[in-house]
Structure 1
Amino acid sequence: MPPGAGLRYGMQLPVQSLSTLYAEPWEARAGPAELLAVARAADRYGFAYIACCEHVAVPRRLAGAMSTVWYDPVATLGYLAAATERVALLSHVAVVGLRHPLATAKQYATLDHLSGGRLILGVGAGHVREEFEALGADFARRGRVLDETVDALKAALGEEEFPEWEGERYAFRDLGQRPRPARRPRVPVWVGGSSAAAVRRAAVRGDGWLPQGDPRDALPGQIARLRRLRAEAGVAQPCVVGAIAEPVYVGRPRWDVGRRVVSGPPERVAESLREFAAMGVRQVQVRLRSRSAAELLEQMAAFGEEVGPLLGE
């Protein structure tokens, strides 16, 4: 689908995180080869982005549900950048409050430079206390730290070789970083989360908003609040509004895909997704049900070739 036409669609990569909330059983046996195949398919079938999320370390008390498999987003997206040409590379989300913004800027500016300007920096506050404590980061004040970190990153991921920032926690000037990002005037920052604080952060500071599993009937109210807060803050630039759709299976499934899955012919799937566009959503994240990497690739092809063209305006 051409950039800017209708409702754009992206996906969280399989394999790179194995939370029991969404990972398919086959992903536990997969690795780099499957990641490469999926990234190349996303490039081929018109997906707007592929996404990778971040956890540095998972405490034992949460490992059963979350697993400890969380690939590093910079390394993973950098690896896949060399195998793709068009698809955007999204951190969904990077917990940027865990480290100094200059360290984060160095990593992601390099990734954007190497990928030819395809990075979207998705950021979130994080939720695992032990992870913050192990890295010496402030868990209790993580929202406030994230607000400043986003502002500092917007300065550090622009065109200036010697970016400047002075805030409550961080300050830098006369410190050069090259290579600069390829994206001009800077790398876009999308804010993840659906709490009141996250929506305000996206409205005031973000170039885009990545809600975290809001049900459909809650989205119109959240979007209205986002737009009101953005107008009150005097931010004129539009905010790219996202959504995470229910799981999808294109065609008639011959196995139990789950009762909440949107399945059926391409027209039915597209009609369901177009409801998001009517709310003001401009990019939707889809998760395609599958029993194997081969089936996922088949589903991506069916989605890109048969559903994607029906999502335009």
Structure 2
Amino acid sequence: MGGPAVSVAYGIQLPVQSQSTLYAEGWEAGAGAGDLVEIARAADRAGFAYVACCDHVAVPRRLAAAMGTVWYDPVATLAHLAAVTTRTRLLSHVAIVGLRHPLLTAKQYATLDHLSGGRLILGVGAGHVAEEFAVLGADFRRRGAVLDECVDALRAALGPEEFPVHHGKVYDFEGLGQRPRPAQERVPVWIGGSSPAAVRRAALKGDGWLPQGDPRDRLPGLIAGLRRTRAAAGVEAPLTVGAITEPLYVGRPAWDVGRRTLSGSPEALAESLRAYPAMGVDQIQVRFRCRSRTELTDQMAAFAADVAPDL
């Protein structure tokens, strides 16, 4: 694989595990665990920085036509895929941590990190489905404030201490031990969302930021504001800035891939995607138009071999 060193990492939100009508491909409806395993293995071989899985517990009937009801559990799914991969990291994009007590979340994700040899990235977000919060006894109206505290509580509960301590307004615990501990000394916490509150939360509390598919022209302003807020607060730790790219198709498609899809030669795609690191993005989440699992894994391999080296 020739070309200069890759200056921006690339990961992928897994298909099949989340089947909203807004983005799922037709073949995913008949796919299952075996397909997820093969796609994760393909990502591992091709040097993808992570594979990602979403989080919804229950979708109300009023939203089911758009969102669908296929939402695999992220901990179960990522743990299953950890056993068939060796390098690619395992990202929750995003876990709605306000739906669960932080010690429950910590138990699940610490075990995942332990079993995977330290490959977890915990992506968190506020959530948007009121009925989901109501049925689980969580406070939808205060979900932003609860998420802020959850991040602090999870920092403690996923840290090195067997008996973590957190005293907050919503959650209060000490003297309760949890093992196994995470394999990582510090589990990266990436904050999802593009609202002003989410961007501020990422700036002040995150190891990374996961925007919500913002158009390219919005990103430079959001990134600049993020870095200003972080600097003003005196937070000096590195921050991994992400972006979700347009749908991609490596090569000349023989079918209608949609007007928003970037397609063409590897050189043309690389030239277009270099706009992301140029604006300060550290990792891009790529997605590919495809009519089958095989076409998807072929696209992933072509991207890694022919596009990524020139990013």
TM over 0.5: yes
Q: Aligned partners of 1:175 and 1:233: how far apart in 2? A: 32
Whether 2:191 is the aligned partner of 1:177: answer: no
Shift of 1:177: 0.5
8 Å Cα contact 2:57/2:71 also seen in 1: yes
Partner of 1:57, secondary structure, is coil
Identify the residue that residue 165 of structure 2 maps to in structure 1.
164
Matched, 1:118 2:119: yes
Give yes or no for the alignment of 1:105 onto 2:129. Answer: no
Shift of 1:150: 0.5
**Residue matched to 1:58:** 59
Cα distance per residue 1:181-233 (max 9 Å; x no partner):
0012x110000000000000000000000000111000000000000110111
Matches within 5 A, 1:1-313: 5-184=6-185, 186-311=186-311
CA distance in 2, matches of 1:300, 1:278: 23
Structure 2 SS opposite 1:132: helix
1:234: Cα distance to partner? 1.2
Structure 1 length-normalised TM: 0.97
Structure 1 unaligned spans of 5+: none
Contact 1:46–1:308 (CA<8 Å) still a contact in 2?
A: no
Q: Taking every aligned residue pair, what percent have the same amino acid on both sides?
A: 73
The alpha carbon displacement at 1:5 in A equals 4.5
Contact 1:48 1:87 in 2 (8 A): yes
Equivalent residue of 1:121, what SS?
strand
Deviation per CA, 1:134-183, whole angstroms, max 9, x where unpaired?
00000000000000001110111111111111111111111110000001
Aligned mates of 1:243, 1:143 — CA distance in 2: 22
Q: TM-score, normalised by structure 2?
A: 0.98
| Mapped contact 1:97–1:149 kept (Cα < 8 A) | yes
Distance 1:209 1:273 in 2: 19
Contact map agreement 2:10 2:283 (CA 8 A) in 1:
yes
Structural RMSD (CA): 1.0
Letter in 2 for 1:86: R
- Structure 2 Cα separation of the partners of residues 76 and 99 of structure 1: 18
State the number of aligned residues: 308
Q: Report if the CA contact (8 A) 2:203-2:226 is conserved.
A: yes
One-letter amino acid of the structure 2 residue matched with residue 220 of structure 1: P
- Paired residues of 1:191 and 1:208 also in contact (CA < 8 A): yes
- Give, as a single letter, the amino acid of the residue that structure 2 aligns with 1:94: A
* Cα distance in 2 between the residues matched to 1:5 and 1:45: 13
Partner-residue secondary structure (3-state), 1:150: helix
- Paired with 1:59 and 1:70, the residues of 2 have a C-alpha distance of 13
Contact 1:150-1:205 at 8 Å conserved across structures? yes
Instruction: Report the Cα distance in structure 2 between the residues aligned to 1:75 and 1:270, rounded to whole angstroms.
Output: 34
* TM-aligned CA deviation for residue 18 of structure 1: 0.3
Contact kept, 8 Å, 2:164 with 2:177, in 1: the verdict is: yes
Per-residue CA deviation, residues 77-121 of structure 1 (Å, 9 max, x unaligned), is: 000000000000000000000011000000000000000000000
Task: Give the ranges of 4+ consecutive aligned residues of structure 1 lying more than 6 Å apart after TM superposition.
Answer: none
Once the two structures are TM-superposed, the CA of residue 308 in structure 1 deviates from its matched residue by: 1.4
